[in-house]
Amino acid sequence: MPNDSSPSRQFPPLPQFSGMNAPSRIECHIQDLEVVGELPQALQGSWYRCGPDPQYPPMLGDDIYINGDGAVSAFRFADGRVDFTMRYVRTQRFEAERAAHRSLFGLYRNPYTDHASVRGLDRGTANTTAFVHAGRLFALKEDSLPYELDPVTLETKGRHDFDGKLRSRTVTAHPKRDPETDEWLFFGYEAAGDASKDVAFCVADKHGALVREEWFEAPYAAMQHDFAVTRDYVIFSVFPTVCDLDRMKAGGTHWMWDGALDTWIGVMRRDGSAKDMRWFRRPACYSYHVANAFNTGSQITVDLCVSARNVFPYVPARDGSAHDPEANAPYLTRWCFDADNPESSFNSRVLSPIPGELPRIDERVSMQPHRFIYYGGIDPRKSQLVTGPIGLGSNHLVRVDTQTGGVTSLFLSDTTTFQEPQLVPVPGAEGLLLAVVDHHDTGLASVVVLNAADITAGPIAQIKLPIRLRDSFHGDWAPSTPQTI
Ligand SMILES: [Fe+2]
């Protein structure tokens, strides 16, 4: 049996380490990828992505998908050509394990299960989001500080604490970039340490300088994966995936689903203060990702993926109930409420009949009314291919027209799944939609380039990779600049 003194050198034969989920452990630069068709001239820039790829087999014999070391990749588009680069983020954790030639960290977000030699080291994996701000590239993970990378080489520059100014120990992997001010709005939860109820709301200006950090207390310590920002409001959601320090000290999981607790939604004005946060309560539910939010006066709209409970199968329920993928499937949902009277005005309606996750919009209209949402649809009646953290991969790309209610989707084959889509803005058009395709028959990856306005027409062009790309989480598009390409 593996143990913390001599972990196995083989990844366990479990779904999260097998098939398309098998760790790739590849760092590479590939110039001029093969392209089927022609890349549109409008594709000029870098598409950065970030996801988990464990460097070593788990110390405790098993682990969850989302605990892998951060691997950042970049597709660089220029003049009809595309290059690809992928590198690990050199976190403290990565470097310690590489020096020891083995894994040293235990359960996800539980430092009490680590090897004694790494106590006090940063446990962050930098594995969730690649984000460009003020010409700088960051890899983000919600339990720790960002790591800054060189936007061209993807070499790690180091941990980023905003010149020593940030007090929060954590920074969300769902930053909001204000398209009008170029500010980076973010928050950190468990900001004072594991299981703390402290949340820090922060703003960095267009140059990257930290200009605001306000702390408040959440109703209880919970996983706050994403948040919502409009032109005038910030909305924090506290869903009952809860943390308990005693459980962690006993060697248990950081997270547990507690459906007996309410969901709490906090609303504050951007020109106000966290002290004026207005909290209202809803029955237990869960959401990982927000597509966008906007307000008209005090009327707030939030489009987000909502499930009956946490969609991750490895978050155990306090009442012992089993995870039911169908009953807990996430649906793209529109919440509307009046910030002045949220409890009585709250309205929720589902926007698409196809369950799924990883919603994206044209970020030029972030925080303002948007029309289109693109996401990965999971229809288990079509195919049941395992990839990524939820279990089943996205076998559809879905486009929702929130103005007409129209839903269209692209299904490529019984052996393909999609990773998170990326909308590339094109002046005067809806844009281009990019998505990595996992080819489960060949074990390789490709990228489809789609006309966002007509995804059912299929790819304009398809970029072929000679390797598999383990399912990433989130990415960011950076138009060509001297800093990024
Ligand atoms: Fe996320």
Tens of pLDDT, residue by residue over 47-98, are 999 999 999 999 999 999 999 999 999 999 999 999 999 999 999 999 999 9
Residue 7: per-residue pLDDT: 85
Distances (CA, A) of 390 to 68, 312, 329, 430, 473: 15, 5, 10, 30, 11
Q: How far is the CA of 3 from the centre of ligand 1 (A)?
A: 31
Q: Where exactly are the structural domains of the chain?
A: 15-479
Between CA 290 and CA 305 the distance in angstroms is: 7
Residue 175 CA to ligand 1 centre (angstroms): 10
For 238, 351, 359, 429, the CA distances from 331, given in Å and listed in that order, are 18, 8, 10, 27
- pLDDT (0 to 100) of residue 485: 47
How many CB atoms are located within 10 Å of the residue 292 CB? 25
Ligand 1 centroid to Cα of residue 359, in Å, is 10
For residue 5, the model assigns a pLDDT of 73
pLDDT band for position 3 (cuts 50, 70, 90): low
What's the CA-to-centroid distance between 268 and ligand 1, angstroms? 22
- State in Å: Cα 67 to ligand 1 middle: 13
Q: Compute the distance from residue 275 Cα to the ligand 1 centre, in Å.
A: 27
Q: Is the pLDDT of residue 254 over 60?
A: yes
141 C-alpha to ligand 1 centroid (Å)? 9
pLDDT at res. 144: 98
| Averaged pLDDT, 381-392 | 90
**At 330, is the pLDDT very low, low, confident or very high (cuts 50, 70, 90)?**
very high
Q: Using the mean position of ligand 1's atoms as its centre, give its distance from the Cα of residue 92 in Å.
A: 22
Give distance in angstroms: CA of 474 to centre of ligand 1: 7
Residues 436, 394: Cα–Cα separation, whole Å: 11
Other Cβ atoms within 10 Å of 409 Cβ, number: 19
Rounded to the nearest whole angstrom, what is the distance from the C-alpha of residue 370 to the centroid of ligand 1? 20
CA of 173 to the centre of ligand 1 (A): 7
Model pLDDT, residue 267: 98
Taking a C-beta distance cutoff of 8 angstroms, is the pair 56, 112 a contact? Answer: no
Q: How confident is the model at residue 1 (pLDDT cuts 50, 70, 90)?
A: very low
Cα(483) to ligand 1 centroid in Å equals 26
pLDDT at 4: 67
pLDDT surpasses 70 at 404: yes
CA of 187 relative to ligand 1 center, distance in Å: 14
Question: What separation in Å is there between the alpha carbon of 168 and the centre of ligand 1?
Answer: 19
| 70 CA to centre of ligand 1 in angstroms | 14
As a whole number, mean pLDDT of residues 239-268 equals 97
Q: Quick one: CATH architecture of 15-479?
A: 6 Propeller (2.120)
Q: For 274-279, which contacts have Cβ atoms below 8 Å and span 24 or more sequence positions?
A: 274/201, 274/214, 274/215, 274/216, 275/216, 277/216, 277/236, 278/339, 278/342, 279/219
Q: What is the pLDDT of residue 275?
A: 95
Report the separation in Å between the CA atom of 471 and the middle of ligand 1, taken as the mean of its atom positions.
Answer: 13
* Å from CA of 421 to ligand 1 middle: 13
User: pLDDT by residue (tens digit) across 6-41?
Assistant: 889 999 999 999 999 999 999 999 999 999 999 999
- CA quadruple 94, 97, 103, 105: dihedral sign: negative
Does position 398 have pLDDT exceeding 50, yes or no? yes
119 Cα–ligand 1 center, Å: 27
pLDDT in tens, 167-192: 999 999 999 999 999 999 999 999 99
225 alpha carbon to ligand 1 midpoint, in Å?
Answer: 6
**Tens of pLDDT, residues 269-324:** 999 999 999 999 999 999 999 999 999 999 999 999 999 999 998 899 999 999 88
Cα of 226 from ligand 1 centre, angstroms = 7
Distance 227 CA to ligand 1 centre (A): 10
* Mean of all residue pLDDT scores within the chain: 96
Alpha carbon of 174 to ligand 1 centroid (Å): 6
Is the pLDDT reported for residue 484 higher than 70?
Answer: no
Long-range CB contacts (within 8 A, 24+) of 247-251: 248/110, 248/111, 248/112, 248/194, 248/195, 249/112, 251/107, 251/110, 251/112, 251/113
Residue 255 binned pLDDT confidence (cut-offs 50, 70, 90): very high
Task: Say how many Å lie between the CA of residue 188 and the centre of ligand 1.
Answer: 14
How sure is the predictor about 480, in pLDDT bands with cuts at 50, 70 and 90?
confident
How much distance in Å is there from the Cα of 357 to the middle of ligand 1? 9
Ligand 1 centroid from CA 432, angstroms? 22
Sign of the Cα torsion 65, 310, 139, 291 reads positive
